[in-house]
Structure 1
C-alpha cells in the first residue's frame, strides 16, 4: 500500500505542467517572412492569418531595423500578440539582398529551436513586399501557398528540394554551391511566376539566373529526375516542322576526371532514357525515323548542356558539385578558392538520348 501511495505522489509531481507551454491564443502564427535591404538598414514583412475559420485572410506586419533579430523585436511592438514562427512555411529574400552573404540573414532561424528547418526559401525579383501583399484571393494560407507553389516545381524537376536545413549545409559545403528558386511577378495578376534558379558562389548570389529549361537540365544532371522532367523542341525535317516533347524516364551518369598537374578535364557522361509525349509527325515504328529523332534529341540536349556549363563557369557556381569529387580524390587539383578554380577547368559533356517509350500508338 505504501508503495502505491509513493508512486502516485511521484507521478503526480511530474504532471504539474509544461515549463515551455505556449498557448496559440497568445500568439500570431506567422507562415511567411520576407526580407530585404542590407545589414544596418533592413526591412522585413511577417504575414499571418487573421481568421481561424478562413486562413486566406491575413495581415502583413512591416518592420524596419538594423539586423534580422532587430527586425523581429521591432515587429513584436506592432502586434497585439507575440509573433510565433514555429509554423513558418516560406522565407522570401530579395535578390539584391542575397548579393551579400546570405547566412547573415538566416542565422536567427537556425539558432531558435522552435523555428522549423523545413521552410522553403526563394529569391524574388524586386521588393519582397509585392510578393506578400497579393491582391487576388488565394486558395490557402499565404505561406502554404508559396510552399506548394515551390513544391510543384520540385516535382517537375525545375527546382531542387531546398529547405532551410539543406540551404545551411550547402552554404558551408566547400565542394558544391547553392542554388535557390528565383521568382518573378505577373504584373497583371500580381501572382508569382517561376523564373528559374539563382546561382550562388559560396554564400553570395552571383547575379546569374538560369531560365526554366536550364534549371531543369541542371537538376537532372545534379540529382536526377523528380516526378516529371519534360522538355520540348521543334524538329525540322526538310521543309517540315514538327514539335517533339519528351519526358525523361531515367538518367544514368558517369563522371571521369582526367588530372593534368594542378588542373583537370572533367568528362561528364550522361544517358537519358526518354518517353515521347508529343510527336505529330509519328512513324516512330520505322527504324529510320526513330534513329533520326534520337540523333536530333541527343544533339539538342548536348547543345543545351554545353551552354549551361558555360553559364555555370562564367558565374562561377559549381552547382553540380564537381568540387566534392575533386577535393576527395584529386587533392592536387583542389584549391580553397574553389570558385575561381572551377571556372578554369575543362568540362566536356557527352549526352546520349535513348527513346525507351513512344506512347500507346505505334
Structure 2
C-alpha cells in the first residue's frame, strides 16, 4: 500500500502543469486604458509597449462601442494579438464621461478577476486622447509613467492613496463619496499637470475641483496623510513678510456630533504636529515667538479649512465620511439622499497646530 501511494505521489509531480497559463507572445499587454463618452456611445483607448527592449515605445489602439466591454472587443479586432489587461496600471476617464455614474465604466475592470484591483483611476480635463501623446522621453512605459505620477502626489498628500478597489467599494457602501485625481491638459512639453481632486456625489462628478492646496487639506481631514504634507504662508512682522513652510509630522482627530432636531452640528477637532522647514527669521527656540507662530498657523489653516468645508457642502459631496458616522451612531439624522442632508449640517472645525521640530537650526 505504501509503495502504491509513493508511486502515485511521484508520478503526480510530473503531471503538474499551468492550467491557466497565458503566453505573453500571444498577448498585447496593456498598461493604460482610457474611456470617454457615455453608455451607448463610447470610445476607448488602450496603450501597450511595442518593443520588448524599449518599453517607452508604445502604441495606442482605439475602439468604439456601446459599453466598455464592447469597446474592448472593437479594439481587439484591430490588433494582431489579444489585448491583455492583467498589468493595467492606470485608467483615465474624461470629466465629461464622469458626469454619468462612473461605475458603469469601471464595472468591467473591477468584476474581471484577471484585471488588477490596484490600478489607479484619474479624471482628465478634456479628451483622454490628448493625454496619451506625452512625448518620447518617458522613463518607463506610459501606464507606469501615470502610475508613478499619481503615486508621487499620494506621497505628498495631494491625492489620497487609493485604487480601483477602494473607489468601487465606496459605491457599494453609504455615507462617503469618492474623490479622484484630476489631470489638466498637457502643456507645451505635452506632459500632464496636476489640477487637484475632483469631487463626487455618489458615482457622479459634481463639476467641482479642488486646487492642489485645497486637496492637501482635504487629504489631511480624511486622515490619509502620505509621507509628507507641506503648506506655506507668509508671516508678517514689523512690516516685513517672510515665508513659513510647515510639514505635518503627525495628525490626530476627534469628531463630535451634536443632534439638533433633524440636523446636527459636527465639531471637527484636529491637532497637527509640524516640522518647520522654512522660516528665514529663525530664533524658534524663543518660546514666545514659537507660540505666536503656532497661533498664526492655526488661524490660517482653520480659515482655509472653513472655506474647504463650505466648498464640499456646496458640491453636496462628503469625502470625509461624516455620513458613515451619522448612519452608524445617529440613525435619526440619516437620509439615503445624503448629499442634500450633508449640505444642511453645521460643520465647525477646530484646528490646533503645534511646532515639534524646527530642522537643524534653532
State the TM-score, normalizing by the size of structure 1. 0.97
- Correspondence list, 1:21-100, <5 A: 21-100=21-100
Q: CA deviation at 1:171?
A: 1.8
Pairing 1:359–2:359 present: yes
The Cα RMSD (Å) is 1.3
Distance 1:3 1:265, change over 3 A: closer
Q: CA deviation at 1:11?
A: 4.6
Pairing 1:111–2:111 present: yes
3-state SS in 2 of match to 1:307 = helix
Q: CA deviation at 1:5?
A: 4.0
Q: CA deviation at 1:21?
A: 1.9
Q: CA deviation at 1:6?
A: 4.2
Distance 1:354 1:43, change over 3 A: same
Please list the CA deviations of residues 61-101 of structure 1 after superposition, one character each: whole Å capped at 9, or x if unmatched: 01111111110000000000000000000000001100100
3-state SS in 2 of match to 1:283 = coil
Q: Which moved more, 1:180-189 or 1:99-108?
A: 180-189
5+ residue gaps, structure 1: none
Contact 1:136 1:189 in 2 (8 A): no
Q: Distance in 2 between matches of 1:75 and 1:180?
A: 26
Please list the CA deviations of residues 230-284 of structure 1 after superposition, one character each: whole Å capped at 9, or x if unmatched: 0011111231100000001111111111011221100001111111100011122
3-state SS in 2 of match to 1:140 = coil
Partner of residue 121, structure 1: 121
Partner of residue 239, structure 1: 239
Q: Distance in 1 between matches of 2:292 and 2:9?
A: 81
Q: Distance in 1 between matches of 2:23 and 2:357?
A: 55
Partner of residue 168, structure 2: 168
Q: Distance in 2 between matches of 1:295 and 1:122?
A: 37
Please list the CA deviations of residues 121-155 of structure 1 after superposition, one character each: whole Å capped at 9, or x if unmatched: 10000001111122242000100000000000000
Q: Distance in 1 between matches of 2:44 and 2:176?
A: 29
Partner of residue 258, structure 2: 258
5+ residue gaps, structure 2: none
Please list the CA deviations of residues 169-213 of structure 1 after superposition, one character each: whole Å capped at 9, or x if unmatched: 112221110001001133211101111100000100101001101
Partner of residue 342, structure 1: 342
Distance 1:25 1:260, change over 3 A: same
Distance 1:2 1:166, change over 3 A: closer
- For this pair of structures, how many residues does the alignment match? 360
Contact 1:270 1:350 in 2 (8 A): yes
Contact 1:136 1:190 in 2 (8 A): no
Q: Distance in 2 between matches of 1:191 and 1:228?
A: 24
State the TM-score, normalizing by the size of structure 2. 0.97
Partner of residue 155, structure 1: 155
Contact 2:160 2:225 in 1 (8 A): no
Q: CA deviation at 1:223?
A: 1.8
Q: Distance in 2 between matches of 1:142 and 1:284?
A: 46
- Correspondence list, 1:197-212, <5 A: 197-212=197-212
Please list the CA deviations of residues 307-332 of structure 1 after superposition, one character each: whole Å capped at 9, or x if unmatched: 00000000010010001110000011
3-state SS in 1 of match to 2:61 = strand
Please list the CA deviations of residues 2-61 of structure 1 after superposition, one character each: whole Å capped at 9, or x if unmatched: 55444444554x43x333321110000000001001111111110000000110000000
Q: Distance in 1 between matches of 2:320 and 2:295?
A: 26
Q: Distance in 2 between matches of 1:205 and 1:122?
A: 12
